[in-house]
Structure formats: C-alpha cells, structure tokens
Structure 1
Amino acid sequence: MEEYKKRIVKTIQYINENLDADLSLERIAEISAYSPFHFHRIFKLITGETLQNYIIRKKIEKSAFLLAMYKEIEIKEIYLDLGFSNHSVFTKTFKKYYGVPPSQFRNSAPDQFHKILQTQSKNGQVDTVFSQYICSIENLLNWTKMNLKIEVKEMPEMNLAAVMSLGIVNVEPSYNVLIDWAKKKNLFPRENVKMISVYHDSFKVTPPDKVRIHACMLLDEKLKGIEGEVFSETIDAGKFIVGRGEVTLNDFEQAWVSLFLWMNEHNYSMRRTFPFEVYHSNFKEHPEGKMIVDFCIPIH
C-alpha cells in the first residue's frame, strides 16, 4: 500500500499542476508507471473516486476559486483554459457540483464573506447552497483585533517534507507518518522544529472530506525524491499576510475568514498559490487546548 500511495501522490501532484494539459487515463497511468487498468483501480481505492471524476471535480473547483477570487477574468477564458469545449458544457457541469450556473455563483460569492455548505436533500441528491457566516463583518474584525496580531512581511523560501492527506480528519494520521519518518532521520524531536499545514484546496469550494492538506515539516535542506509517503514541497519566498494568535482548533475557521477579510479591507490580493499554517506549540500540551499558530496568506 505504501508504494501505491507514493505513486498516487506523484500523479495527484501532476494532475493538480496540469489541469489544462492532456489528462487522459493513458497519460496519467504513464506518469504513475502502472497499466491503465491497474492505475484506475488503485486510484479509486486510495482516493475514493474515479480518475475522471477527480479530474472534473478539480477543474470545477479551480474554476469556482477563479470565479470568486478573480472577478476580472472572463468566464469564457476560465472554462477554455480548463479544457471545456463550450459555455453550455461548462455551465451544465458546474451546476451539477454547485447547484447554480457560474455567473450566479460569481455574483453570490462576494470574496470571503460566504462559504459553501453541503446539504442533503430529501431525494438523496446533494445540493450546494450559500450561507452567510453567523458573525457579522464587524464582529469578525473585532475578533481579529482581539485574537490575532497581523503583519505583512517578506518570508524566505521554505523547504518542506510533506505527507498528503485527503480530508481534515486524516491530517493527524499524516503527521504521525511524517513524525515516524523524521525520527528515523534524526530530524525529530529537535529544538524549534516547525510543523506546517499547507492547504491545496479551499473549504469554500471543496467538500471537507476531499480537501487536500499537506502535513509538513520545515527542513534545513531540500528533500530529494520521494521516501515512502513523504515527498518534497517548497513554499516560494515572497510577501505574506501573517496573523499570529493563541487559538483552539475551533477558532481556525474564524481565524482564516477574518484574515481574508482583513486582506480585502486593506486592498491586498492573494497570489495564485497556497495558504498555510505554522504551528509554534502543541495544543495537546496546553490545559485549554490552545496553541500558537501563524495563519499565512501569500499576497502580491
């Protein structure tokens, strides 16, 4: 199973970085070094969905992110870049996932002030609806002032060892895999070790059980190659909004929402890369389950 996961990690990375390229079963199987037949079965076993469903879902999720975050981009440009043949096909596929056509989605998703909730309808179909956060913008800003110290700063390149998890519930097991690997390398425990979670999907457009989160450890040097489930990841140097606070796990969603709100209030825009969290303490060692966390948003 470890070798399967290693190859699937490689192919998932390729798919997500090449959504506008040839993603036929034959091409992806070639990347994974499996026959198309075996790859298809292994992929579904590990990810819980077929390759075709995964690719379509990722394309639609990326289009949803672009529609919400980059409103200056024409809808036609978005769907053509992602390989949809025409507006009708794109709209029909998009509506299947989000319940509304792309133009309505864009108009109903003002920046970070809404989130998508999955609700089960009476006939068993999953409908996607928009729901405003309970907290008002004013309350979110007040929460930010009370709980986060925010600064904009340049950060250096970070070389990471990473383990992929699909779904929020699988993050802790992924960290366990990472720590076991690090212990064998004498990289853990050590003073000032930094653990980092990198979000490769947004909870705004991806169901919680399919959000891709990389459980990472900061390294002094770049990791070469893939070692079991552990692979190399790099966070490029650049400008970031960093919100630091002592929070519980229940505060994370509010922290992210309020930080994106702060970003919009101060006229920053997010770079097309991934936000991440840096942990400076362990909530399991705090009597109230609190930990010191940096919430980091890459910006222009």
Structure 2
Amino acid sequence: MKINSTEIKNLEPMKTIAVSHIGEYSGICGAFEKLAAWAEANKLWAACPKMAGVYHDDPKHTPVDKLRSQACLENISGIEPGEGMQHYTINGGKYFVMQVEVTMPEYGEAWQKAYAAFNEKGYDYGTGDHYELYVSCVGDTQDADAPWIVELCIPVK
C-alpha cells in the first residue's frame, strides 16, 4: 500500500446508480460485478463514469451481518436503474481525502490509515458519506491483484 496524498477537499454531490450490499464490507465485490455487467450491457462505459463504494456503518459498532454498503456508478447518462438497483446521491461537502495505491487485500489497512491520519489531525467527523472513489487501475483491470489508485473520503465537520 502506498499513500499518494492527503488533503481537505470540497467535493460535489455525485448522483449514482447503486447496488446495495449487507454484510462484511469485503463482500461488496458481488455488488460491483452486478453493477459493472449492467453498465456493460447498457453501453455506459464509453462516458467514463466514476465508480465508488459507500460504507454506511462503523464496523467497530455494528455486527458484521448488519453492515450496509453500496456499489455505485456515476449516473452521467440519466439512465434509470436496473432491477435490484436504485438511485443514490453521494453527499458532497468538506472531506478529508487520502489518495492511496492499493491491491484488494490492502483496502482494510488503507481505511485504518485514513482514519488514523484523520484523527491525528484532530478533525471532527461530518455527517456525510464515507466512501472510496476509484480513480484508475495501475495495470490490467481484469487482474484481481492489480493495484488501484483510490481516494478514501471521510466527511469533515
């Protein structure tokens, strides 16, 4: 895992199409696969929509089987969601953003480092979404071990 940068940013809200996931956060892969297949079938990739993972619960205080998350695809085209999907707007506002380069097994560690840096700087948590925004893949997107450049976004009060 590599930390590229940390900064405070004002982020715009992002309208998305989302697939919900309940359970361990690492299990959200199936929701992303469903969303990606739907985007492919609807020829949405040509517009280069952003993808994000939104995490609604603190795993330290919520049982694993109750953790709520969403795989999101930016809704650039205004298309209606497919079956089992819904519209979801990721909150905008003031965010602490840590850009990292990670492989799949390193996401948990990356989030731990982001929260540690957030707390070390003395920031107060805002009420917005906690999410990861996928910037780009460093390598073959079909390779499960390829590192991704990801922005971990934590709302600031």
For Structure 1 versus Structure 2, the TM-score category normalised by the shorter chain is 0.7 to 0.9
Structure 1 residues 237 and 274, CA, compared in 2 at 3 Å: closer, same or farther? closer
Q: Residue 6 of structure 2 contacts residue 97 of structure 2 at CA under 8 Å; is this kept in 1?
A: yes
Structure whose residues are more often helix by fraction: 1
Q: Residue 98 of structure 2 contacts residue 114 of structure 2 at CA under 8 Å; is this kept in 1?
A: yes
Q: Residue 169 of structure 1 contacts residue 209 of structure 1 at CA under 8 Å; is this kept in 2?
A: no
Partner of 2:9: 153
Q: Aligned Cα RMSD in Å?
A: 2.5
Distance in 1 (CA, whole Å) between partners of 2:60 and 2:28 is 18
Distance in 2 (CA, whole Å) between partners of 1:230 and 1:201 is 20
TM-score (norm 2): 0.83
Structure 1 residues 202 and 229, CA, compared in 2 at 3 Å: closer, same or farther? same
Distance in 1 (CA, whole Å) between partners of 2:26 and 2:5 is 28
Which of 226, 231, 239 in structure 1 is aligned with 2:94?
Answer: 239
Report the secondary structure of 2:111's partner residue.
helix
Query: Bigger relative contact order, structure 1 or 2, given CA contacts below 8 A and separation 6+?
Result: 2
1:171 and 2:23 correspond: no
Distance in 2 (CA, whole Å) between partners of 1:147 and 1:169 is 20
1:262 and 2:117 correspond: yes
Q: Residue 159 of structure 1 contacts residue 221 of structure 1 at CA under 8 Å; is this kept in 2?
A: no
Unaligned runs of 5+ in 2: none
TM-score (norm 1): 0.46
Largest Rg, 1 or 2: 1
Structure 1 residues 280 and 204, CA, compared in 2 at 3 Å: closer, same or farther? same
Partner of 1:208: 64
Task: Please identify runs of 4+ aligned residues in structure 1 that moved more than 3 A.
Answer: 207-210, 221-224
User: How many residues matched?
Assistant: 154
Structure whose residues are more often strand by fraction: 2
Partner of 2:133: 278
Distance in 2 (CA, whole Å) between partners of 1:183 and 1:248 is 23
Tell me the percent identity. 29
